[in-house]
Structure 1
Amino acid sequence: MSSRTRRPGALVALVALFTAGYLAPYLLPTVVGRLSAGLGLTPTQAGLVGSVLLLGSSTAGFTLAARGERIGPRRAARAGLLAMAVGYGSAAATGIVPLVVAGAVLGGLGSGMATAVAVAGIAGRSNPHRASTLGLLSVSATAGALYLTLPHVGGGHAAPLLAIAGAAALVWPVTARLPATHATREATAASGPLPHRRSGAVLAGGILCWSLAQNALWGVSGRIGISQAGLSEVTVGAVFAAALGAGLAGVTAAGALGSRLGRAVPIGAGTVAIAGCVLLSSTARDLATFATGEILWNAVYPVVLSYLLGLAASLDPRGRWAVMVGAASSLGVACGPATGSLLSAGAGYPAMGLTLCVLLLLVAGPMTAVARRGSGRPLVPGSVHRRGGAPAAVLAGRGPGTSLVPQMGAPEQEVAAVPVTAGRRRAVRSAFGLARPGDRG
Structure 2
Amino acid sequence: MTSTTENWGGRAALMVAHCAGMVDLVALPVWVGVLISGYGLDPQQAGGLATLFLIGAVSASLFVAPRFARLPARATAAAGFAIAALAFGAVGLVDGYAAMGVLHVVAGLAAATALSVTHATIGGSSNPHRLFAIVGFALGVFGILFMGGVPKIIDVVGAPALFWSFAGIMAFAACVAALGFPETRSLGAVTQRVAGRLPRAVWLASIGVSCMALVQAMMFAFVERIGADRGFGAAAVAGVLIGLGFVNLIPAPLAAYLEKRVKPRTVLVCGPIVQALLALLMTQGQSFIPYAAGALFFAAVMVFTHTFAFGLLATLDPSGRAVGATPAMLMVGAAVGPILGGTVVKLAGYHSLGFAAVLIAACAVACFMPRRAVNPVLSQP
Instruction: Give the TM-score normalised by structure 2.
Output: 0.91
Query: In structure 1, how many angstroms separate the alpha carbons of the residues matched to 2:75 and 2:270?
Result: 39
Query: In structure 2, how many angstroms separate the alpha carbons of the residues matched to 1:183 and 1:288?
Result: 47
Question: AA paired with 2:30?
Answer: T
1:97 corresponds to 2:100: no
Query: In structure 1, how many angstroms separate the alpha carbons of the residues matched to 2:334 and 2:47?
Result: 11
1:334 corresponds to 2:347: no
Per-residue deviation, 1:128: 0.8
Query: In structure 2, how many angstroms separate the alpha carbons of the residues matched to 1:225 and 1:306?
Result: 29
Per-residue deviation, 1:200: 1.2
Aligned to 1:287: 288
Aligned to 2:311: 310
5 Å-filtered alignment, 1:72-151, equals: 72-151=72-151
Aligned to 2:56: 56
Q: Deviations over 1:63-86 (max 9, x none)?
A: 101222212211210121112111
Question: AA paired with 2:176?
Answer: V
Contact 2:112-2:327 within 8 A present in 1 as well: no
Question: AA paired with 2:250?
Answer: A
Query: In structure 2, how many angstroms separate the alpha carbons of the residues matched to 1:184 and 1:143?
Result: 33
Aligned to 1:384: none
Aligned to 1:222: 224
Query: In structure 2, how many angstroms separate the alpha carbons of the residues matched to 1:111 and 1:325?
Result: 13
Q: Which has the higher contact order (CA 8 A, sep 6+)?
A: 2
Contact 2:3-2:181 within 8 A present in 1 as well: no
For residue 351 of structure 2, give the secondary structure of its aligned residue in structure 1. Answer: helix
For residue 45 of structure 1, give the secondary structure of its aligned residue in structure 2. Answer: helix
Query: In structure 2, how many angstroms separate the alpha carbons of the residues matched to 1:214 and 1:22?
Result: 13
For residue 249 of structure 2, give the secondary structure of its aligned residue in structure 1. Answer: helix
1:232 corresponds to 2:252: no
Per-residue deviation, 1:277: 0.3
For residue 39 of structure 1, give the secondary structure of its aligned residue in structure 2. Answer: coil
Per-residue deviation, 1:310: 1.4
Aligned to 1:30: 30
Contact 1:92-1:162 within 8 A present in 2 as well: yes
- The root-mean-square deviation of aligned C-alpha atoms, in Å, is 2.6
Cα distance, 1:230–1:184 mapped onto 2, change above 3 Å: closer
Question: AA paired with 1:83?
Answer: I
Per-residue deviation, 1:144: 2.1
Query: In structure 1, how many angstroms separate the alpha carbons of the residues matched to 2:270 and 2:289?
Result: 24
Question: AA paired with 1:119?
Answer: H
Aligned to 1:174: 176
Q: Deviations over 1:102-146 (max 9, x none)?
A: 222111112211221111011111111111111111112212222
5 Å-filtered alignment, 1:186-265, equals: 190=193, 192-196=195-199, 198-227=200-229, 229-265=230-266
Query: In structure 2, how many angstroms separate the alpha carbons of the residues matched to 1:84 and 1:336?
Result: 22
Aligned to 1:375: 377
Aligned to 1:366: 367
Question: AA paired with 2:215?
Answer: A
For residue 154 of structure 1, give the secondary structure of its aligned residue in structure 2. Answer: helix
Cα distance, 1:72–1:54 mapped onto 2, change above 3 Å: same
Contact 1:44-1:342 within 8 A present in 2 as well: yes
For residue 113 of structure 1, give the secondary structure of its aligned residue in structure 2. Answer: helix
For residue 22 of structure 2, give the secondary structure of its aligned residue in structure 1. Answer: helix
Per-residue deviation, 1:237: 2.1
Contact 2:121-2:185 within 8 A present in 1 as well: no
Aligned to 2:164: 162
Query: In structure 1, how many angstroms separate the alpha carbons of the residues matched to 2:378 and 2:37?
Result: 50
Question: AA paired with 1:309?
Answer: F
Aligned to 1:347: 348
Q: Name which one, 1 or 2, has greater alpha-carbon Rg.
A: 1
Query: In structure 2, how many angstroms separate the alpha carbons of the residues matched to 1:34 and 1:101?
Result: 15
Cα distance, 1:314–1:187 mapped onto 2, change above 3 Å: closer
For residue 277 of structure 1, give the secondary structure of its aligned residue in structure 2. Answer: helix
Question: AA paired with 1:355?
Answer: A
Deviates more, 1:319-328 or 1:122-131: 319-328
Per-residue deviation, 1:296: 2.6
Cα distance, 1:185–1:42 mapped onto 2, change above 3 Å: closer
Query: In structure 2, how many angstroms separate the alpha carbons of the residues matched to 1:14 and 1:74?
Result: 11
Per-residue deviation, 1:307: 1.0
Per-residue deviation, 1:172: 2.5
Per-residue deviation, 1:372: 4.9
Per-residue deviation, 1:180: 5.2
Cα distance, 1:259–1:365 mapped onto 2, change above 3 Å: farther
Per-residue deviation, 1:192: 2.8
Cα distance, 1:91–1:191 mapped onto 2, change above 3 Å: farther
Q: Deviations over 1:164-189 (max 9, x none)?
A: 22112222233233355779997686
Query: In structure 2, how many angstroms separate the alpha carbons of the residues matched to 1:273 and 1:260?
Result: 20
Question: AA paired with 1:192?
Answer: A
Query: In structure 2, how many angstroms separate the alpha carbons of the residues matched to 1:9 and 1:153?
Result: 31
Question: AA paired with 1:159?
Answer: A
Deviating 4+ runs (over 6 angstroms): 181-186
Query: In structure 1, how many angstroms separate the alpha carbons of the residues matched to 2:61 and 2:250?
Result: 28
Q: Deviations over 1:325-345 (max 9, x none)?
A: 431211111110001111121
Instruction: Give the TM-score normalised by structure 1.
Output: 0.79
Question: AA paired with 1:333?
Answer: A
Per-residue deviation, 1:376: 6.0
Query: In structure 1, how many angstroms separate the alpha carbons of the residues matched to 2:138 and 2:286?
Result: 32
